[in-house]
Amino acid sequence: MSIASTNRMTPYLFLAPAGLVLAFALFYPICYMIYASFLDWNPSQRIGEADLVGLRNYFKLFGDPAFRESLGVTLKFAAVVVTVEMFLGVGLALLLDRNIRGMSVLRTLFILPMMIAPIVVGLMWRYMYHPTVGIFNKTLKSWGFDGVPWLSNGDWAFASVVIADVWQWTPFIFILSLAALQSLPASAIEASKIDGATGWQQIIYIKLPLMLPVLIVTLLLRLIDSFKVLEVILVMTNGGPGLSTEILSLRINRTASEFRELGEAAAMSNLLLIVLLILTFTMFIYNKAQDARAARLRRVEEEA
């Protein structure tokens, strides 16, 4: 082999181990899942014994009101939590972006929820929401109010899981926004002060527009994550009451383990995967566009 062709091979050689791992850990399961979604497959069967049913699982899903409801709950959940978290996270970052004594301790405290295992978060909130011994109802009752059916009423249960998710994931948006905020050009903000901008005007006209690229990526990351949420809701409500908090990943879990319909569960997973792929591609394209724009500007600058 000539030296030139060896040199050309070198990068692929280095990439090969990672490629092998990816192939087994990622592509094999995905292909397995796609194949499984065309089967009428019961967990007691081996995959070879299951009947091939073509697209039947997919058609069944679209006709299934429970699946449609679950998809609706997921979309609603994702939209609500991400909106609330964005407002709170960015707001907190704007509020805490200053040099006051003890601020670093406060910042660390704010990001603690994110570091707790989701199962623990679920259990913690379930106890707090407990109708008689939970801290919320106990407090309400000691003030003379009626208790709230946190997890036993459909609407309240949805609100309860939203609150828990917001509690856990606002810090994620908070730290990314804070990092974005602190990397803004200080002199541009000073210039806006001289130009007569009030605190609010600085935020609206200077800080937020400059943070926008980071905020968009953060939003997409959170959106992707919120579609996959499972543990916290599993522990808190297990999807109930009724189907009020049954998000897609829970429905998939139930379809596989409770209804023993592995093929249908695989079809659902594939649909969820497609939604997530669309979001991921959006983010990818957005990043590409940003990079291309930066490269174009650099070129213009070099020419000038």
Partner 1 sequence: MPEIRLQNLRKDYGAVNVIENLNLEMADGEFTVLVGPSGCGKSTTLRMIAGLESVTGGEIMIGDRDVSKLEPKERDLAMVFQDYALYPHMNVAKNMSFALRLARMNKSDIETRVKEVAATLDLTAYLDRKPAELSGGQRQRVAMGRALVRDAGTFLFDEPLSNLDAKLRGQMRAELALMSQRIKKNMIYVTHDQVEAMTLGDKIVVMKFGEIMQAGTPEELYRSPANKFVAGFIGSPTMNFLNAELSDEGGVIIARGDGFAIPLPDSRKGALQAHKGRSIHLGIRPSGFVEGGGGLKMPVILSEYIGAQSVLISKLGDQQVAIEVNSVAPIRVGEEREFTVQGDEVHLFDPKTEVAL
- Residues found near partner 1 in the complex (CB under 8 A): 185, 187-188, 190-198, 201, 205-206, 209-210, 212, 297, 300-301, 304
Closest CA relative to residue 275, chosen from 252, 241, 257: 252
The pair of structure tokens assigned to 265 is 């569960």
Q: Whose Cβ is closer to partner 1: residue 141's or residue 299's?
A: 299
The pair of structure tokens assigned to 214 is 């980071």
Q: Whose Cβ is closer to partner 1: residue 19's or residue 209's?
A: 209
Between CA 22 and CA 31, with CA 28 as vertex, the angle to 5 degrees is 130
Residue pair 236/129 in contact by the 8 Å Cβ criterion: yes
Q: Whose Cβ is closer to partner 1: residue 184's or residue 230's?
A: 184
Q: Whose Cβ is closer to partner 1: residue 198's or residue 257's?
A: 198
- State the nearest-atom distance from the C-beta of 194 to partner 1, in Å: 5
What are the φ/ψ torsions at residue 39 (nearest 5 degrees)? -110, 150
Chain-centroid distance, C-alpha 242:
24
Q: Whose Cβ is closer to partner 1: residue 139's or residue 198's?
A: 198
User: Which residues share a beta bridge with 52?
Assistant: 39
The pair of structure tokens assigned to 287 is 């990043």
- State the nearest-atom distance from the C-beta of 218 to partner 1, in Å: 18
What are the φ/ψ torsions at residue 114 (nearest 5 degrees)? -65, -25
Rounded to 10°, the helix 248-257/262-303 angle is 150
The pair of structure tokens assigned to 180 is 């974005």
Q: Whose Cβ is closer to partner 1: residue 13's or residue 304's?
A: 304
Return the amino acid letter for 300. Answer: V
Residue pair 244/149 in contact by the 8 Å Cβ criterion: no
